[in-house]
Amino acid sequence: MDESFEELQAPPVVFPGQRGHEAAYSTAHDLLSRRAPVEALEVIEPALAEEPTNTGLRSLRAWAFLIRAQLGRAEEELTSLVADNPDDDWARHALGRALERQSRFAEALPHLRLAAAMSGEPEHETAVLRVERRLAEIGERSYDDLA
């Protein structure tokens, strides 16, 4: 076997009729679904360089950061996404999860509660209960309980 060959890389997936950022979104989403955040970011970053305000691509970048446990970067992206679109229940839930994973439970709970109220998703409701339990265990109150 010839050991001088270079490692082959798969060509980018382009779906018929899709423009650059749409193909990037589809490809990155597929990669993230397969738990390949590094590869997804390699697709997302060039597409965002061309279209920096693309909410879909920014959401995928935040998801990639969450998978990689780059929680500060995920928090920054998600905070911006929530500011731009306060009724995005996915971004709000993801922001709550990023804060929760940093043990910032009091900050996480308002976002998780809003996401649960907006979506009705069982996963979102479970996150609220989990964080409320953690706050009770450590004797803290959430920011919205203080108001």
> What residue has token string 């890389």?
9
CA-angle at 99, arms to 95 and 102, nearest 5°: 145
CA separation (Å) from 82 to 1, 29, 56, 69, 127? 53, 20, 13, 20, 18
Give the total residue count for the chain: 147
Both tokens of 19, joined, read 């423009």
Using pLDDT thresholds of 50, 70 and 90, give the confidence band for residue 21: confident
Using pLDDT thresholds of 50, 70 and 90, give the confidence band for residue 15: very low
What does the pLDDT look like over 63-122, one tens digit per residue? 999 999 999 999 999 999 999 999 999 999 999 999 999 999 999 999 999 999 999 999
Verdict on whether the full-model pTM lies above 0.85 = no
> At residue 15, what are phi and psi to the nearest 5 degrees?
-90, 140
